Structure 1
């Protein structure tokens, strides 16, 4: 696949938002005044934007003038170079803040909470992330008579929010694509789905004896690992049924019987399976589905890409051209304010503690969550 090259991080400081005031004296040199202006020519903005790895710098540049604001819309293309962020809990509060987390170091840099107000979370398993969106399954709005919870999806950069019908069950994972939302609970025979604007969820049941373990959407196709044999299947939703089309022979799943932790993922349109083959210390293997041979084949490179997981639920993939992310790595969040980086190239595992203002020991029961601004 790709060559393993570690690019150096590049961060461009934001321009000042207050223009220099020219003297009213007739002796003012117009050329000198122009050259001392803190502003960039509009045609330079795309080049500058591609070097911004901090949301603080991005929004500071947008605030400089109307022209910049019009050019720098918070779109996935304009945010392509942005560093991954961590959604972290604040001390003595149920609210969250975005922490800028360049990989290999955690500076004390909190993103303004403009779009995080009201996104309270008390249940450590009630938060799900995918790209720059989060889904909150809120127990505080629970109707105790029927056991339902409010489910909301929010975009943490644009502030866009969508409220969905009350969900009838607990949730282990959420998949979001366009206006379609799919939820599931591990080791259950049902998944739930709806479209934004629907008044209720649909329950889709698979055949008796088959239970969902992990799900991922790849190029519009829903794939699932089906327990008890961890057999791969394509999943089609038809009203109240989830029809499974199993891929490969039964023996293709036997290799994984000795392990207990699997995660389906996606990288540049390819279906992947991440397996924890050892736990002390952690060792991960990555397999790619070979549709022609209908089997899993182990790979040792992601073509320079890196995968991010909210605990062990897939959160997104960043490409090899990202300016600061280490290539061919897996990134996981944990409890106790920790996240880790596993390198496929040399098998090294680095654990990090997110140290930031407002963090307290009582927040350790809430896991950190990846937020990827470049994935809208």
Structure 2
């Protein structure tokens, strides 16, 4: 380790010693800082799960704990910085690790990319926040987006919503670009794209901008967005896929595929995911009635760019998908991974099923095994919220 100059090369520390250090840590924050010491130490994320006691990513960030407090008690709690959020690793879902994160108090998480969360509060302020380093950047206010005060319903009538409803329903999802392997601590060259309003249109902004720039397009009702091959690809409610090249001015949509047609029933939710350099579209199907909803099936399709058609695939090989309010990703599973291969791990992101209905979101979480189609819970506890249910945090050091 000492190269003779008196300088210690920490990258040469052995795996056993690294595991020993990790097991002396007491918080997820310490674990994160350990993995950031040097490139070689990022291997702490792939060490044998039985050897490391601290939760390993991917991490499930749980909903804010519910406490019946007065407004004065809420203010005191925030000022005293005692607000905590729970984190669970798939290597031990029975153990919840908590962090003091007053920055997340009563904020709705509308996205996560790598270590970064995108949140909005009741004052419509939007932040990009790293819960491990507690670094924070500001995006333009939600109030700079158009169509703030009218929500359109299927019967054609307009109605005014409360500020809480705006916070809960207006922003559907925010995704960050990641032009390099890692989004650095200064968020250099990072662009955020937001899906907003009842028509689910798109807008872009950079940290420090005064306002969002709306993208003028005929495409509405966007279901999901990813940053794929240096472009923002999106899919809408009829399965039509297009992309935006944000280096162009003006930004215009280039359509990749037309309306998705299937021999099956109605698709309740579409996702886009990069998988081994390929573009996947995931179809999610619900069982739903007046009292509850739950996911009952997934189907996965790969886009063939040569013939411009979607082809169904039955297996992800050694990979698994992680879906929800997070940026949709595929991760390579191995013998030391905390998750199984050929599965879809999902959280509850069906906003229309809970926000404004009095029903708490977060119950529709699980893991779907693509081999047999079974869906089972990945978290044995209960973590629900009226406005911000659990979501995945997936450090980009896990991306392939």
Name the TM-score, length of structure 2 as normaliser: 0.65
Moved more, 252-261 or 51-60: 51-60
1:288-367 correspondence to structure 2 within 5 Å: 288-310=302-324, 314-321=327-334, 323-334=337-348, 335-336=361-362, 339-355=365-381, 363=385, 366-367=388-389
Q: Which of residues 203, 212, 217 is equivalent to 1:206?
A: 217
Deviations 1:70-125 (A, max 9, x none): 9835999445423322212223278442322325x522231433xx23211355xx
- Per the alignment, residue 207 of structure 2 pairs with 196
Distance 2:14 2:84 in 1: 31
Q: How many residues align?
A: 311
1:120-199 correspondence to structure 2 within 5 Å: 120-123=105-108, 126-139=109-122, 142=123, 149-167=124-142, 168-169=144-145, 170-178=170-178, 179-185=190-196, 188=199, 190-199=201-210
Q: Tell which structure's C-alpha radius of gyration is larger.
A: 1
Distance 2:105 2:233 in 1: 31
Higher RCO (CA < 8 A, seq sep 6+): 1
Aligned-residue offset at 1:62: 9.2
Q: Is 1:84–2:88 an aligned residue pair?
A: no
Cα distance 1:255–1:210, how it changes in 2: closer, same or farther (>3 A)?
A: farther
Aligned-residue offset at 1:43: 2.7
Instruction: Report the secondary structure of 1:112's partner residue.
Output: strand
Instruction: Report the secondary structure of 2:12's partner residue.
Output: helix
- Per the alignment, residue 260 of structure 1 pairs with 268
Instruction: Report the secondary structure of 1:205's partner residue.
Output: coil
Q: Is 1:272–2:298 an aligned residue pair?
A: no
Distance 2:96 2:390 in 1: 15
Determine if contact 1:189/1:205 at 8 Å carries over to the other structure: no
- Per the alignment, residue 244 of structure 2 pairs with 235
* Structure 2, unaligned runs of 5 or more: 1-9, 47-55, 68-73, 146-169, 179-189, 288-293, 349-360
Give the superposed CA RMSD.
3.8
Deviations 1:225-250 (A, max 9, x none): 245x42221223478854122224x4
Determine if contact 1:152/1:161 at 8 Å carries over to the other structure: yes
Determine if contact 1:186/1:211 at 8 Å carries over to the other structure: no
